Amino acid sequence: MMTNHYSSSRSCNQGVVRVTLILVGICLVSYIVGPPLYWRLVESFRPVSGSCPPCECDCSTETIFSLPLGVENNSLADCGKHDADASEEMEKSLTDLLLEELKLQEVVALDRERHSQVATIEAKKLSAHYQKEAEKCNAGMETCEEARERAEAALTAEKELSLMWENRARQLGWSESDIITM
């Protein structure tokens, strides 16, 4: 009985694997064949308009893996070059875009120049202000130094005068024990 259960489970697993593989195969085929078939059907039903001529490039040589943007892809590079009106319009647009870009860069450059001129003027004003403050400080320091020197000279003279009076008082018989305390 064990063997029957095992063989039925095994055949069920094989069936599920087969169905899964078939579904994966169908999805893969539709993924590869679907987009080109879709675009051919859309192109066949679309009316041809005179405003946009069809591109005359050979895109059938494209590989499944396309090159990233920025890498030269010569098979698509000449698409649209055959139409003189479209290339002239693209050239005009490119020229206009370049002119607009140059004008914007000029505006930015003028704005930066104006900003740097304003910053330079402001820096000069601040520099002059700090220079005046430094001169005031130096003048004040010189005044203080002169006053200190005068005070030191007056103190030295006062000490000499005090020493002379103290010597004279001692000569007349005064001693430190005679100091009256209050």
Tokens of 49: 């308009």
Determine contact, residues 75/55, Cβ cutoff 8 Å: no
Which percentage of the chain shows pLDDT scores above 90? 43
Q: How far is CA 34 from CA 27, 29, 30, 61, 76, in A?
A: 10, 8, 5, 18, 22
Nearest alpha carbon to residue 78 among 58, 48, 54, 50 = 58
Tokens of 141: 């320091």
How far apart CA 104 and CA 110 sit, in angstroms, is 10
| pLDDT for the residue numbered 118 | 96
Q: How far is CA 38 from CA 25, 61, 62, 63, in A?
A: 19, 19, 18, 18
The pLDDT tens digits of the residues spanning 121-135 come to 999 999 999 999 999
- Cβ contacts of 90 within 8 Å, gap of 6 or more: 80
Phi then psi dihedrals of residue 118, to 5 deg: -60, -45
Nearest alpha carbon to residue 53 among 93, 90, 85, 91 = 85
The pLDDT tens digits of the residues spanning 144-171 come to 999 999 999 999 999 999 999 999 998 9
More confident residue, 64 or 18: 18
| pLDDT for the residue numbered 152 | 96
- Tell me: pLDDT of 54 over 70: no
| pLDDT for the residue numbered 12 | 72
- Tell me: pLDDT of 1 over 50: no
| pLDDT for the residue numbered 40 | 78
pLDDT bracket for residue 58 (50, 70, 90): low
| pLDDT for the residue numbered 74 | 53
- Tell me: pLDDT of 66 over 50: yes
Average pLDDT, the chain: 79
The pLDDT tens digits of the residues spanning 23-49 come to 999 998 888 888 777 777 777 776 555
pLDDT bracket for residue 110 (50, 70, 90): very high
Task: Return the biggest CA–CA distance within the chain.
Answer: 146
| pLDDT for the residue numbered 53 | 58
Q: Is the dihedral of CA 28, 33, 39, 45 positive or negative?
A: negative
